[in-house]
């Protein structure tokens, strides 16, 4: 038996969020790989409930996130036959420092670095108590997880967009039928989200002046999460309600992902590519993307006038055809088959 353990907070209320999409993708890949797994939703405050669902016949435990190393170790102690696999979503210690990004003085605070070291220690214990780590990011695997102590293998389990399967009735529009819109899927008022808004504001100021095309700009900002919205340029429309992000991506010409803060994988990039959009990313982010994804993106630092001029020319033509989402899905299926059917 295989148990796929998912924290309860990743649920329908998180519809469209990166963690929700990543888990949905894993569930779809398990099904395509013909791996029968028991899905277990557990309370993240009481992860020990997972133990009661394990039996001597349980061969594999696949758990989302690296937050529960003590639970992993206890599971292996009670069930020596068990193989534990952790789906890593972020390089957690790097993520904490990167997204913290306040004033420089804040970086001398001891509590900041104490938390950083605590996360390093927790992720190290998670690797030590695992048989494999299934990372969502090649960069994170190579520059974080492989450096941590422990003997667990570190494998790349790519993210692919689940939307074409979950919303199969919605087809991406052909280029000539798309709106001349650049949309950005806004985050929140943390440094990463604010940096995205700052760069979108700059792009919305410069691009209409340089481009021969008449571009509109939209920023999604889910009202169920936040009652207030950021300050934006007059030509940026804030979408307070976006019930179906995939449907929106299928009808616009470009998606802008203009923050480079945070690790893991910015899932919206692959969503945009799968929907047939041009996807614009910041140059400080592109080096952390898998090469097969990076080569399909347009690179622009909105503060650089030459970058914006080049972007204006690139946006005038439709993106090249590709099947990146199918390839990523196929690779995910192969990794799950080799990992979960081998023991």
Residue, of 109 and 340, whose pLDDT is higher: 340
Give the residue-averaged pLDDT of 324-333. 97
290-326 tens-digit pLDDT? 999 999 999 999 999 999 999 999 999 999 999 999 9
- Give percent of the chain with pLDDT exceeding 90: 78
What average pLDDT is seen over the chain? 92
Name the pLDDT band for 343 (thresholds 50, 70, 90).
very low
Domain covering 2-157: architecture: 3-Layer(aba) Sandwich (3.40)
Domain ranges of the chain: 2-157, 165-323
The more confident residue out of 98 and 122 is 122
* Range of lowest pLDDT (121-125, 128-132, 207-211, 220-224): 220-224
DSSP secondary structure letters along 178-222: SEEEEEEE---SSHHHHHHHHHHHHHHHHHHHH-SS--EEEEE--
Task: pLDDT band for 185, please (50, 70, 90 cuts).
Answer: very high
Q: Same CATH fold, 165-323 and 2-157?
A: yes
Percent of the chain residues past pLDDT 70, beyond the cut: 95
- Burial state string for 46-72 with b = 16 or more CB within 10 A and e = fewer than 16: ebeebeeebeeebbbbbbbbbbbbebb
State the architecture of 165-323 in CATH terms. Answer: 3-Layer(aba) Sandwich (3.40)
Phi then psi for 152, rounded to 5 degrees? -60, 140
- Distance, CA of 21 to CA of 164 (rounded, Å): 12
Q: Measure CA 188 to chain center.
A: 15
Evaluate if residue 340 carries a pLDDT over 50. Answer: yes
pLDDT tier at 139, thresholds 50, 70, 90: very high
Q: Does the pLDDT of residue 224 top 80, yes or no?
A: no
Q: How, if at all, do strands 298-299 and 278-281 pair?
A: parallel
């Amino acid at each position: 038996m295989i148990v796929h353990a998912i924290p309860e907070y990743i649920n329908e209320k998180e519809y469209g969020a990166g963690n929700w999409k990543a888990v949905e993708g894993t569930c779809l890949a398990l099904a395509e790989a013909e791996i029968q797994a028991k899905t277990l939703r557990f309370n993240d405050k009481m992860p020990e409930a997972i133990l009661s669902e394990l039996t001597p016949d349980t061969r594999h435990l696949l758990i989302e996130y690296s937050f529960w190393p003590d639970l992993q170790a206890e599971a292996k102690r009670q069930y020596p036959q068990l193989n534990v696999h952790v789906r890593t979503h972020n390089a957690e210690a790097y993520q904490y420092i990167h997204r913290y990004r306040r004033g420089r003085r804040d970086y001398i605070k001891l509590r900041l670095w104490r938390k950083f070291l605590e996360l390093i220690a927790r992720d190290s214990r998670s690797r030590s108590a695992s048989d494999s780590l299934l990372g969502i990011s090649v960069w994170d695997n190579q520059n974080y997880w492989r450096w941590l102590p422990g003997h667990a293998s570190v494998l790349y389990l790519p993210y692919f967009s689940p939307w074409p399967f979950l919303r199969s009735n919605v087809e991406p529009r052909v280029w000539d039928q798309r709106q001349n819109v650049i949309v950005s899927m806004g985050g929140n008022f943390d440094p990463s989200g604010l940096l995205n808004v700052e760069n979108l504001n700059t792009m919305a100021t410069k691009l209409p002046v340089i481009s021969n095309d008449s571009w509109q700009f939209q920023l999604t900002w889910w009202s169920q999460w936040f009652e207030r919205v950021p300050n934006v340029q007059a030509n940026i429309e804030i979408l307070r309600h976006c019930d179906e992000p995939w449907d929106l991506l299928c009808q616009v010409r470009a998606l802008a992902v203009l923050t480079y803060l945070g690790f893991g994988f910015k899932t919206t990039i692959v969503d945009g590519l799968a929907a047939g959009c041009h996807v614009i990313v910041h140059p400080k982010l592109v080096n952390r993307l898998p090469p097969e994804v990076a080569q399909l993106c347009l690179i622009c630092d909105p503060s650089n006038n030459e970058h914006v001029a080049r972007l204006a020319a690139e946006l005038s033509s439709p993106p090249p055809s590709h099947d990146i989402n199918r390839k990523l899905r196929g690779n995910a299926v192969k990794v799950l088959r080799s990992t979960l059917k081998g023991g």
